[in-house]
Chain A
């Protein structure tokens, strides 16, 4: 009774967040459902390990691990290791990127960047970048929380975020050019 009510109160409110993360990692509706169902049953069994702090990073860590286990078994090619050694937190944007004038047709096209293109570009990013971007931008998790969920140091979270944003920007630019 207490266990079930506790689960309902503390974990169930994060179902959307859990599904969103699983969906972005697996890139597939039914796989995401399987992963989330599995994760929530695990979470229920391990509810004792949930402290008084926010349950969201806790459940997202379980979802992420379940999703990765699933990926390794079913789509191992999706799990590309990221060489974080070559990344520095501030090693981003800057070089080569000149902000074009507002009247530039390319900019106008880019401004109308529709959801479809952004979604596709984000889905095409390596999962290690995709997941931190989703947690930061869509879930609004702090660096610290992302570090907990993904099991990587804060510095790595920051460098993956900026590198991920850069990769996304480049990918999106290419898609725009191809579309025009």
Chain B
């Protein structure tokens, strides 16, 4: 019987297994990210976007399984993910870069051993987009290489990961919650860039990256 009382041979999970409590820094990080999202959401355009997202999400929890599978790599979800990652880096002190350098020969080797591919790293300081450094980030459920650039007072995040079987495609620029986003593929790598500067600024950055990267 499954209702048999716990005998000596019955491991008592509730008593013996560890209950892992969330570390305090995790709470702080989540609260900061949510505050950032809330700030970004204030504004009429965003409000409409959120209502659409809410309407879409008004499916039951049970169908979440399917929803995640089908939506995870879709454009909208990806855009949200990229923007969240960009904002996380801005919100958490010390999260903009893990390795700080404008030297591509310092930043590129830093990724070796941390991820299983080598992202192309280029300093665009000569064109007004100096490289600030690199970090690991988390986009679409995986660990990815992220590069940080500066455009005047603005921060640019560039996320790069391998995507096999896609042909090169020129940058597409869009906006989300007042931020500019761009994506393109080149040399079996997927690129996503996010920035709070005007779309034209990010578009120029994307074009520069696209034409100079392998």
Contact = CB atoms under 8 A, between A and B. Distances in A.
Interface of A: 1, 3-4, 7-8, 12, 15-16, 18-20, 23-24, 29, 32-34, 36-38, 40-41, 44-49, 57-58, 61-62, 65-66, 69-70, 73-74, 89-90, 92-94, 97, 99-100, 102, 107, 110-111, 113-115, 118-119, 121-122, 133-134, 137-138, 140, 148, 151, 158, 161-162, 165, 168-169, 172-173
A169 B55 CA distance: 46
B138 A110 contact: no
A60 to B, nearest CB: 9
B30 A40 contact: yes
Interface residues of B, number: 51
B11 interface: yes
Contacts, number: 163
Given A36-B26, A114-B16, A119-B17, A74 B143 contact: yes
A158 B2 contact: yes
Main secondary structure, interface of A, reads helix
List the 7 closest pairs (A to B, CB-CB), nearest first.
Answer: A48-B54, A19-B22, A118-B16, A137-B13, A46-B57, A23-B20, A49-B57
A48 B53 contact: yes
B44 interface: no
Contacts of A93: 1-2, 4
B30 A161 contact: no
Nearest to B51: A48
Contacts of A61: 61, 64
Given A73-B142, A92-B2, A118 B34 contact: no
Given A45-B80, A47-B54, A133 B19 contact: no
